[in-house]
């Protein structure tokens, strides 16, 4: 287990985010916690247990591997929905344990029905419709045939949900495209209804769509980035502020990533720091090395750009980020020493390095940066 740094996850912050979102969505809308990508880097098992303790009873994952971790953590206490990959050899486990899953092609639909018949236990399916994302989902022209199959296999298939995913709801530039997708989704539902088939629930909203297009909330919202205290994009945040006529951010960051200084030394004017010649001291400098690098998820693109906090002050990353180490400029800190706390993401005293600013330096999305944080770093619920 990696001991060079720790990621703290705030249960209080998460609860505040959930309370805010449920107030926005209303009590009748199910909030599904999206925990794919190691719970957006927050630590899947740890985060799921915390979220459950905070009242979440529905979790959405990408694949069976993630579903098994959630299942092992919570057993049968919560609903688990697989939105992506289910290998043939895992289909029996999924159905036996009443794990719900997306179907978006005829092969998977047939495989689910066949496996369910063998097990004499219904497969719980969510039918994904292709509405314009052009990734996965049944085309509108095929919905009638799917409906006929569902009628034929009603003894083996429980049609739980009708769903889709929007292409870029976080940007107003995609307004027309998303609006067209909503119309396509409604058409698919109408076709199913004409065969006397109605899903128990309808869902289509991710974090961005749930805020930008209220009509997409339906019966369930699949909330990822918002629950972690981050906005899908600046546009979504500004839209919220304008709609509510407020200047305050209602979200609270859940994650705090910290490490400590492992070495402090001085360099002379004209000396190069680290590999190559990407950084040369233009004056006598005091530098510190910390035991984090790109192997831990601290991007190499943050070389000579990143910022960390020491003694409540912002310190610049200098030189090239190594696999396991990086160097920072601590010249302005008078009493800095080995073992002092370094905050990579989060707050220290009155200063903050947000995930947003962190990703701005590296030209990465919030999502990308978070999911790249090494799984070996311990997650601690506080």
Do residues 170 and 236 touch, judged by C-beta distance below 8 A? yes
Rounded Cα gap, residues 239 and 207, in angstroms: 13
Burial class (CB in 10 A: 0-12, 13-18, 19+), 258: middle
User: Burial letters for 10-49: b for 16+ Cβ neighbours within 10 Å, e otherwise?
Assistant: bbebbbbbbebbeebbeeebbbbbbbbbbbbbbbbbbbbb
Domain 11-244: which topology? TIM Barrel (3.20.20)
Residue 368, H or E segment? helix 366-371
Q: Return the pLDDT at 225.
A: 94
Do residues 57 and 49 touch, judged by C-beta distance below 8 A? no
Q: Which has the higher per-residue pLDDT, 248 or 62?
A: 62
Rounded Cα gap, residues 378 and 308, in angstroms: 19
Q: Return the pLDDT at 48.
A: 98
- Give the model's confidence band at 364: pLDDT under 50 very low, under 70 low, under 90 confident, else very high: low
Residue 362: is its pLDDT beyond 70?
Answer: no
Q: Which has the higher per-residue pLDDT, 121 or 76?
A: 121
Instruction: Give pLDDT tens digits for 280-320.
Output: 999 999 999 999 999 999 989 899 999 999 999 999 999 99
Which one of 175, 275, 375, 380 is the catalytic residue?
Answer: 275
Rounded Cα gap, residues 14 and 336, in angstroms: 33
Which one of 15, 36, 122, 202 is the catalytic residue?
Answer: 36
- Give the model's confidence band at 86: pLDDT under 50 very low, under 70 low, under 90 confident, else very high: very high
Residue 327: is its pLDDT beyond 60?
Answer: yes
Residue 26: is its pLDDT beyond 90?
Answer: yes
Q: Return the pLDDT at 103.
A: 97
36 is catalytic: yes
Q: Return the pLDDT at 359.
A: 56
Residues of the chain with pLDDT > 90, as a percent, come to: 88
- Give the model's confidence band at 192: pLDDT under 50 very low, under 70 low, under 90 confident, else very high: very high
Q: Where are the domains of the chain?
A: 11-244, 255-353
Q: Return the pLDDT at 269.
A: 96
40 is catalytic: no
Q: Return the pLDDT at 183.
A: 97
Rounded Cα gap, residues 315 and 318, in angstroms: 9
Mean pLDDT of all residues in 145-155: 96
Q: Return the pLDDT at 243.
A: 86
Mean pLDDT of all residues in 31-35: 98
Q: Return the pLDDT at 363.
A: 54
Residue 30: is its pLDDT beyond 90?
Answer: yes
User: Which pair of tokens denotes residue 56?
Assistant: 């979440």
Prediction pTM value: 0.93
Mean pLDDT of all residues in 157-174: 94
Q: Return the pLDDT at 82.
A: 98
Query: Is position 323 annotated in a ligand binding site?
Result: yes
Beta bridge partners, 353, equal 346
Q: Return the pLDDT at 1.
A: 61
- Give the model's confidence band at 368: pLDDT under 50 very low, under 70 low, under 90 confident, else very high: confident
Range 255-353: architecture per CATH? Beta Barrel (2.40)
Mean pLDDT of all residues in 122-151: 96
Q: Return the pLDDT at 367.
A: 76
What does pLDDT average to over the chain? Answer: 94
Residue identified by tokens 């870029």 is 168
Residue 360: is its pLDDT beyond 90?
Answer: no
Q: Return the pLDDT at 340.
A: 97
Rounded Cα gap, residues 350 and 288, in angstroms: 22
Count CB atoms within 10 A of the CB of residue 105.
Answer: 14
- Give the model's confidence band at 150: pLDDT under 50 very low, under 70 low, under 90 confident, else very high: very high
Mean pLDDT of all residues in 194-217: 96
């Amino acid at each position: 287990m990696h001991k060079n740094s720790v990621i703290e996850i705030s249960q209080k912050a998460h609860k505040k985010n959930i309370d805010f979102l449920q107030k926005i969505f209303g009590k009748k809308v199910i909030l599904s916690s999206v925990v794919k990508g190691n719970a957006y880097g927050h630590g899947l098992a740890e985060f799921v247990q915390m979220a459950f303790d905070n009242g979440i009873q529905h979790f959405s994952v990408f694949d069976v591997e993630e579903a098994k971790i959630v299942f092992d953590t919570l057993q049968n206490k919560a609903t688990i929905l697989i939105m992506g990959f289910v290998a043939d050899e895992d289909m029996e486990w999924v159905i036996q344990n009443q794990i719900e899953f997306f179907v978006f092609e005829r092969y998977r639909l047939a495989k689910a029905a066949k496996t369910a018949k063998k097990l004499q236990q219904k497969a719980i399916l969510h039918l994904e419709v292709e509405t314009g994302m052009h990734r996965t989902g049944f085309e509108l022209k095929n919905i009638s045939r799917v409906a006929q199959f569902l009628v034929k296999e009603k003894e083996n298939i429980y049609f739980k949900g009708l769903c889709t995913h929007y292409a870029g709801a976080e940007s107003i530039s995609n307004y027309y495209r998303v609006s067209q997708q909503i119309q396509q989704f409604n058409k698919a539902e109408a076709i199913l209804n004409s065969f006397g088939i109605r899903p128990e629930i309808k869902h289509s909203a991710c974090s961005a769509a749930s805020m930008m297009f209220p009509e997409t909330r339906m019966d369930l919202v699949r909330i990822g980035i918002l629950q972690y205290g981050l906005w899908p994009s600046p546009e979504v945040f500004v839209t919220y502020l304008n709609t509510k006529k407020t200047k305050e951010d209602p979200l609270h960051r859940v994650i705090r990533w910290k490490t400590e200084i492992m070495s402090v030394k001085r360099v002379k004017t004209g000396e190069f720091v680290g590999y190559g010649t990407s950084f040369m001291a233009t004056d006598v400098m005091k530098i510190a090395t910390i035991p984090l690098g790109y192997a831990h998820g601290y991007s190499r693109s943050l070389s000579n750009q990143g910022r960390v906090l020491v003694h409540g002050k912002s310190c610049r990353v200098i030189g090239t980020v190594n696999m396991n180490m990086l160097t920072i400029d601590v010249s302005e800190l008078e009493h800095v020493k080995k073992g002092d706390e370094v905050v990579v993401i989060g707050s220290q005293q009155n200063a903050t390095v947000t995930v947003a600013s962190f990703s701005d330096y590296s030209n990465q999305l919030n999502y990308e940066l978070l999911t790249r944080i090494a799984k070996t770093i311990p997650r601690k619920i506080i």
